[in-house]
Structure 1
Amino acid sequence: MSVFEKLHWEDWTVLILTLATIVIYGTWKTRKNKNVQDYIKGGNEAKWWTIGLSVMATQASAITFLSTPGQAFHSGMGFVQFYFGVPIAMVIICMVFIPLYHRLKVYTAYEYLESRFDLKTRTLAAILFLIQRGLAAGITIFAPAIILSAVLGWNLTILNIIIGILVIIYTVSGGTKAVSITQKHQMGVIFTGMFIAFFIIISQLPEGITFSKALDIAGASGKMEVLDFSFSLENRYTFWSGIIGGTFLALSYFGTDQSQVQRYLSGKSVKEMRMGMIFNGLLKVPMQFFILMVGIMVFVFYQFNTSPINFNPQAETEIANTSYYQSYSDLQRQQETIQKEKQALITDYLETGSDTTVEAIKAANEDESKLRAEAKLIIDKVAEEKDLKIESNDKDYVFIHFILNNLPRGLIGLLLAVILCAAMSSTASELNALASTTAMDLYRRNVNRELNGTQMVQVTKLFTLAWGILAIIVACVAYLAENLIELVNIIGSIFYGNVLGIFLLAFFFKFVRGNAVFVGAIITQVIIFGLFLLNEFGHITLPYLWLNFVGCIIVIVIAVLLQTLSRNKTDLA
């Protein structure tokens, strides 16, 4: 079935009107931005709810709405533990970061590091941010593009370019204010679409299967295990990794990442900034819980409806004309048999609540997981033989498969608009922050200090355009990792701990000077890269969330030691 058969005119109308309205409104509303204060800090006019929604929209990319339901479908609710550190981080940021940034009237977070340490430390922190956020900007475009390309048959490169150009138009035109204004409306579209999808999923469950019973079914299948209090490093998501590693990641992201800092620096006052961040802290975990719950309901839906052995449609298409097709089809038929057995077991469980039946359901799910794993091996073999890029891990395709095959006309267009709005909102924030950091922290401080306000606006616009083009290029050459939402967080975790450590040294270790911090940060970044590679190749076990904590501690320890040794040498002399 072609894209034109899947999308009816109602879907095209909703999709095009939603995207066009946001781009045109954002461009028109901010057409009068004249100075740096307006362009980079939004004229310091943002109210707390605009800040809160803008902060949430920046973090909640298309990856969130594509990958998270699939994460719940395959692994259950445990991923929500990843966000447990966010409320803690919000309190610390409100107490420490926001008053300091406001008092110093900074345009970027890294300005503070020059006044506290020196120019080279400010430049290093800015460069670390630019590397990781520049990569992430490309991925936030690429994520929805590759999935929509595979599912709908749209050309991947053209999709990357279209998403990138739409974002560039209003971000270059209006700067921070355009990003904040459009994100407010984008979040409205996103919440509306997700709530509608949630209730439609429940309405399409078999007669007699209420939401309460759906939760019972998910629980019997082992999908409702929210909390894991184990200390095992083998488990990527636990209560402790969320509270410790998640807090450090959130502190780094919301406190030192310019894409977030710029959102609340646009606030009218410290009070508005704090309220916006508290709003985000209170709503973030429930929002992610809800998105995971959508994935759980999709899982329950597919307990009563046939699901593909692999949700990536490209996989079956490429296998169709190979010698593996028969084996792949056999796996599909075995899965359908298991699904019928599970339906009988689920009916029995709902009537009796038997623990024996629960064990039988879990065993059937394990058998189905083994079949899906065998299907992935076949897909990987076909990809290798055909020299193609075929993603066998289908977590990112689960939700979009449900949308296209089960939602009514018009709502498919709305949910596609949700995905593209999320991509645009995150990418806009990233381009805005990348340009501001490049202009203020690198160009103005290291190349040309004589620019006036109007010239700085023009330079920042040019950097926005340049980063937009670079993000499109990264999107066009990128390739899927195991799971897109994890890929973005992995990239962040490699850098964030180090940058957070630099800021904590600035805040709380007053005797430490710039040279010690600069050298310590470089050594730490090399160590973190090494630890990440050792974990990837199986030589050690260190889930990526812990890299934030480890990186932060290492840079603090090294900088303190270097400063102490330097003082001792001075005393001896």
Structure 2
Amino acid sequence: MPILDISIIVLYLLAMVGIGFYFSRKNKSTAQFTTASSKIPCWAIGMSFYATFLSAITFLGDPGKSFGSNWNPFVFSISMPFAAYFSSKYFVSFYRNTGEISAYTHLEKRFGSWARSYVMLCFVLTQLARMGTIFYAIAIAINALTGFDIPLIIMFSGVCVIVYTVFGGMEAVIWTEVVQAVLKTMGALLILGIILYSIDAKVIIEEGFAKDKFSLGTFKFDLFQSSFWVVFIYGFFINLVNFGVDQNYIQRYHTAQSTKDAQMSIWQCVIFFLPVSFMFFFIGTALFVYYNHFPEQIAGLKQLVSVEKNIPLDSLLPADYGDRVLPHFIKNNIPTGLLGLLMAALLSAAMSTMSSSMNSSATVFLKDFYQRYFRKDLSDLQQLRVLRIATVCFGLLGIVFGIAMMGAKSLLDVWWKLSGIFAGGMLGIFLLGYLVKAAKKKAAIVAVIAGVLIIGFLSMNSYLPENMHTDLDPKLTVAFGTLTILGVGWLVSKFSKKDL
């Protein structure tokens, strides 16, 4: 890469680490480290949420999907306002009124310590899966642009995120995410502008419709394929998890100056994310049309994918290029200087989500595990030390998960599958406690066992004997897991005469 582009990337990384060290001067208490002492303005929290949604999975996975197939995954974004309505109306005030930093403390009061530990485990596994997927996503992009080894990229970017998260705490996480949100949006606009400079938007739209690239999937209520309704249901439940159960988001509700500000931050996130998500899917379709007009420009990527996947050149399909198509375009079409800016945008797409995942995972480790089972009487300084050590450990585990992701065909598919497995149990038990007031410990235990069995059955479907297979789309795992826990819990609480 040219020296100018490398200099821009290095300056960006130094700036992110510098923000961490700047805010480290304030981090003298756990309240400051975990909630920034509830002094963050509403707009900054909304930008922070937006940056978390606009991760490297979105940056690479969404264009890869619309390039290889159509706009069916965009339905996930369409479902966001519906989940945001319920979350802002009911969940935000509930969490703010508890006064607890951990999202899961109230579950112990409702059902016992096992419920708190179970949901904490689901959350941590979800965050590790998220960090691993994003680490690998950014490594794919940087590998395509620089040729550096993927494991090396994962380790280097991971260490940078760990440093500014450990020193800066939640305030550094939020303000770096504000910067990263701006960078990522500028990067997307730059890519789209360069494509539109080469090929007219009218041509993209006409040829896209001719090839059915703008399809949102069949509107028939079909649960056995990735129809509009399957993705909508998946998106609604996952976004309920995000806004209603995920410590990443709930912890940031506590950084707001008021409950109203926290509620508004959710809607700001939706307003920011929907049009930008639309833009990323349009970029994928635009690249499909672009390379149809200039097929010689994709020849190098074609050869690479053919060798990597052992597929003959004449048998390659657009879906086979997946997450590599956008990095290939960036590498070959972005001029010097702007390439460094885009690389910084790609790095920010990874860093924003990973920093908040590390911080929130460390928080639940301290509150829901370490203080609950080992040391309840920690001083504030000791708590801060545990938070920093836990942040480092979760960051290192995220790096390991990222290296383990190597070889995944589609980042979006991998993330959707893993989040569906872990999220169903979290949302189900939360809704049981929130909606079914009569539910007690026994009802919750029976419900979670039933839910885990359903989630396990749907997740392991492809490994089961043929006569046990179900053709349900695997994205419905989160919905069926949640509804099973909620339904079984309600039935047990209704017909059971006494509780444990």
> TM-score surpassing 0.5?
yes
Partner of 2:270: 281
Alignment equivalent of 2:119, drawn from 117, 125, 133: 125
Decide which of 529, 550, 554 is 2:480's aligned counterpart. 550
Of residues 415-424 and 16-25 in structure 1, the stretch that sits farther from structure 2 once superposed is: 16-25
Match of 2:242 in 1: 253
Three-state SS of the structure 1 residue aligned to 2:320 is coil
Q: TM-score, normalising length from structure 2?
A: 0.93
Moved more, 27-36 or 85-94: 27-36
Separation (CA, whole Å) in 2 of partners of 1:394 and 1:263 = 37
Partner SS state of residue 567, structure 1: coil
Aligned counterpart for 1:221 among listed residues 202, 211, 215: 211
Tell me the residue number matched to 2:328.
401
Tell me the amino acid that sits aligned with residue 474 of structure 1: F
User: Could you say what secondary structure the match of 2:497 adopts?
Assistant: helix
What does residue 230 of structure 1 align with? Answer: 220
- Note the C-alpha offset of 1:147: 4.2
Between 130-139 and 60-69, the greater mean CA deviation after superposition: 130-139
State whether structure 2 residue 402 is matched by structure 1 residue 475: yes
Which residue of the other structure, out of 281, 287, 300, is the alignment partner of 2:289?
300
Aligned match of 2:172: 178
- Corresponding residue of 2:196: 202
Asked whether the equivalents of residues 218 and 300 of structure 1 are also in contact (C-alpha less than 8 Å), the reply is yes
Structure 1 CA distance, aligned partners of 2:312 and 2:118? Answer: 51
Structure 1 residue matching 2:31: 3-state secondary structure? helix
Aligned to 1:361: none
Counterpart for residue 44 of structure 2: 50
Alpha-carbon distance change, 301 to 91 in structure 1, aligned in 2, over 3 angstroms: same
Distance 1:554 1:299 in 2: 41
Residue 395 (structure 1) shift: 0.6
Pair 1:52–1:318, CA change in 2 (3 A): closer
> How far did 1:200 drift?
0.9
Could you say what secondary structure the match of 1:224 adopts?
A: coil
Q: Distance in 1 between matches of 2:244 and 2:308?
A: 45
Note if contact 1:77-1:289 (Cα within 8 Å) is conserved in structure 2: no
Distance 2:212 2:224 in 1: 18
Measure, in 2, the Cα distance between the counterparts of 1:477 and 1:227: 31
Indicate the SS of the match to 1:225. coil
1:258 positional shift: 1.0
What is residue 440 of structure 2 aligned with on the other side? Answer: 513
The answer to whether structure 1 residue 26 and structure 2 residue 16 are counterparts is no
Structure 1 residue 396, shift from structure 2 partner: 0.5
One of 94, 98, 109 as aligned partner of 1:104: 98
My pick for the range that moved more, 477-486 or 559-568, is 559-568
Q: How far apart, in 1, do the equivalents of 2:25 and 2:321 lie?
A: 42
Shift of 1:267: 1.0
* Counterpart residue type for residue 486 of structure 1: D
**Secondary structure of the residue that 1:113 maps to in structure 2?**
helix
Superposed counterparts of 1:455-494, under 5 Å: 455-494=382-421
1:234 and 1:423 map into 2 onto residues whose CA distance is 33
* CA pair 286-462 structure 1, distance change in 2 beyond 3 A: same
| Residue number in structure 1 paired with 2:256 | 267
Q: Assess if the C-alpha contact under 8 Å between 2:144 and 2:327 holds in 1.
A: no
Query: Who is 1:372 aligned against?
Result: 316
1:195 to partner: Cα distance: 0.5
* 2:422 alignment partner, one of 485, 492, 495: 495
- Give how far 1:311 is off: 3.3
Is residue 23–residue 170 contact of structure 1 (8 Å, CA) maintained in 2?
A: yes
Encode CA deviations 1:271-309: one digit per residue, 9 max, x unaligned: 110110011123322221111011111112112102546
Distance of aligned partners of 1:403 and 1:275 in 2 relative to their CA distance in 1, 3 Å threshold: same
Equivalences for 1:531-542 in 2 at 5 Å?
531-534=458-461, 539-542=469-472
Choose 1 or 2 for highest CA Rg: 1
Please list the CA deviations of residues 74-97 of structure 1 after superposition, one character each: whole Å capped at 9, or x if unmatched.
112222112222111111111111
Q: How far off is 1:259 after superposition?
A: 1.7
Q: Which residue of 2 aligns with 1:430?
A: 357
TM-superposed deviation, 1:443:
0.7
1:561 aligns with 2:488: no
Deviation at 1:112, TM superposition (A): 1.8
Which of the numbers 134, 142, 154 marks the counterpart of 1:160? 154
Q: Residue by residue, what CA displacement relative to the aligned partner does 1:8-55 show, whole Å, maximum 9, x if unpaired? A: 122112222222212212331343211111111121111111111111
- Is 1:244 the counterpart of 2:188? The answer is no
Q: Counterpart amino acid of 1:524?
A: G
**Which TM-score applies when normalising by structure 1?**
0.82
For the 8 Å contact 1:79–1:237, the answer to whether it is kept is: no
Does the aligned pair in 2 maintain the 1:19–1:421 contact within 8 Å?
A: no
- Mapped contact 1:310–1:394 kept (Cα < 8 A): no
**Identity over aligned pairs, percent:** 28
* Contact 1:431–1:468 under 8 Å retained in 2: yes
Q: Is the 8 A contact 1:151 1:313 kept in 2?
A: no
Q: What per-residue deviation string (whole Å, max 9, x for no partner) do you get for residues 100-154 of structure 1?
A: 1111111011012122222221111111111222222222112221443355320
Alignment match of 2:61 (pick from 67, 71, 92): 67
Residue 79 (structure 2) aligned to one of 65, 85, 92? 85
2:202 is matched with which residue: 205, 212, 215? 212
Q: Which moved further from structure 2: 74-83 or 88-97? A: 74-83
C-alpha contact 2:161 2:354 (8 A) present in aligned 1: yes
Q: 1:451 to 1:527 in 2, by over 3 A?
A: same
* Cα deviations by residue, 1:512-532 (Å, 9 ceiling, x for unpaired): 012321342133123212112
Aligned equivalents of 1:150, 1:12: Cα separation in 2: 15
2:455 equivalent in structure 1: 528
Cα separation, 2, equivalents of 1:151 and 1:10: 14
Query: How many pairs does the alignment contain?
Result: 496
Counterparts of 1:508 and 1:318, CA distance in 2: 50
Q: CA RMSD in A?
A: 2.2
SS of residue matched to 1:393: helix
Q: Conserved in 1, the CA contact under 8 Å of 2:9 and 2:343?
A: yes
